[in-house]
Amino acid sequence: MGKGYSSEEIREKLIVVLEHSTTGMSGVEISEKVGVNRITMTKYLKVFAVEGLLRQKNIGNVTLWSLEPGQESFNFPDDYFKITSKFLENLTKGTEEEVYSLIRNCIHSGASVNSLIFEAIVPAIDSINELYDEGKIGSSELSLLRNTISKSLQIFNQFPIVSNSQKNVVVIAADSKSTLLSEAASSAYHSDGWRVSHLGDMSHAINVLFDLDFQKLVGKIWKRKSGILIVVIFSQTSEGLMFFVDSITPLKEKSSKRMKLTLCAKTSKKSKINADLISENFNDILQWSNTTFQNLK
């Protein structure tokens, strides 16, 4: 830590110092403007380069430092409202690197992973699907944007989290359209310290042997049946939803109430579905999961 400054403060000062520099600045110039001694500043510059804030260019014996594209200073929680539109704008009009830089920038500015998922990622998923449905983008662009969002979620999963062996969750997408939301859910559970088994799109596994196959999987990932196991199914089709519900329910009923089944889907009020929670809003499911685990103690 620089004398009198926190790491976050040094980061903010760096952005201010470098945001209008087109050629970059030397470590000596930066240390003078930031007010941190040269040796300490050099250590920070190297750390921020690894984090994706800075890029370096060597010219002879001089190293010039500049900001990676898309870097700016945010103040959370006040600036979450900015991220919703900015993430979508970078996604649809910018480059992939601008999208990833924004995510890393937000994290290093103090944003929480789950807030970014619910404030930026999930709205973006809904928006690009709407753009496709309205004919404003084609299937190729839709696939590209979905892959970019998926890679953004992988950034969140790279942060080390100490998971709780008592908190277990299996996340399933019943169809390809639900895959991205299931990935977002897995990242959110991971951030909250759950042991996540993300199965992704399981529409290919719809067959008469799935119930036995799933029972074997549960036996491997939840060997001692301690704590809780929550199965979350994302679906945009009633057929896929009902298949997985019907296949998993018998196993759930044998699990002494420590296995729960939740559905993130739109269902008819007349539908009789044996699930512990049904909601179109995944944030509600995540909160319910954490509360249910706490109530088991």
Does the residue 245 lie in any domain? yes
Where does a domain end: 139, 157, 175?
157
Given pLDDT bands bounded at 50, 70 and 90, which one contains residue 142? very high
The CATH number of whichever domain residue 12 belongs to comes to 1.10.10.10
Confidence band, pLDDT 50/70/90 cuts, at residue 270: low
Q: What is the mean pLDDT of residues 41-68?
A: 88
Task: State how far the Cα of 19 lies from the Cα of 225, in Å rounded to an integer.
Answer: 53
CATH number assigned to the domain comprising residue 258: 3.40.50.280
Q: Pick the closest to residue 17 from 203, 241, 44, 205 (CA basis).
A: 44
Structure tokens at 141: 């662009």
End-to-end CA separation in angstroms for the chain? 40
- Which pLDDT value is given to residue 245? 95
Per-residue confidence band for 110, with pLDDT thresholds at 50, 70 and 90: confident
99 and 147 inside one domain? yes
Same domain, 86 and 61: no
Question: Is residue 2, in this structure, part of any structural domain at all?
Answer: no
Q: Which amino acid, residue 67?
A: L
Which CATH number does the domain housing residue 111 bear? Answer: 1.10.1240.10
Note whether 121 and 145 are same-domain residues: yes
Sign of CA dihedral 274, 275, 281, 282: negative
Which residue from 243, 242, 245, 251 is spatially nearest to 221, judged by alpha carbons? 251
Domain stop point among 117, 137, 157: 157
136 & 241 share domain:
no
> What pLDDT, on the 0 to 100 scale, is given for residue 297?
66
Q: Note whether residue 162 is domain-resident.
A: no
Residue type, 183: E
Residue 1 lies in a domain: no
Both 63 and 92 in one domain: the answer is no
Strand partners, 229: 168, 259
Whether 61 and 135 share a structural domain: no
Query: Are both 138 and 108 inside the same structural domain?
Result: yes
- Residues of the domain holding 27: 7-67
Angle, to 10 degrees, between the axis of helix 139-157 and the axis of helix 122-133? 170
Task: Identify the band that residue 255 occupies on the pLDDT scale cut at 50, 70 and 90.
Answer: confident
The domain boundary residue, chosen from 130, 157, 184: 157
* Co-location of 138 and 239 in the same domain: no
User: What total of structural domains would you count in the chain?
Assistant: 3
User: Based on the number of CB atoms within 10 Å of its own CB, is 131 exposed (0-12), middle (13-18) or buried (19 or more)?
Assistant: middle
Residue 3 reports pLDDT greater than 60: no
What integer pLDDT is reported at residue 1 of this predicted model? 41
Q: What is the pTM of this model?
A: 0.82
pLDDT at 262: 97
Asked, for residue 84, whether it belongs to a domain, the answer is yes
149: its two tokens: 């969002």
Is the domain of 85 the same as that of 152?
yes
The verdict on 225 and 130 lying in the same domain is: no
pLDDT at 248 over 90: yes
Over the chain, what is the mean pLDDT?
A: 91
pLDDT band at 2 (very low <50, low <70, confident <90, very high): very low
Residue 73 lies in a domain: no
Residue spans of beta strands (DSSP E) within the chain: 25-26, 54-59, 62-67, 167-173, 195-201, 228-234, 259-264, 277-279
Q: Where are the alpha helices (DSSP H) in 227-270?
A: 238-253
Alpha-carbon separation of residue 248 from 13, 50, 179, 213 (angstroms): 54, 44, 19, 10
CA 86 from chain centre, in angstroms, equals: 16
Residue 129 lies in a domain: yes
Is 114 inside a domain boundary? yes
Residues 214 and 141 in one domain: no
Q: Say yes or no: 175 and 292 in one domain.
A: yes
Average pLDDT over residues 48-67: 87
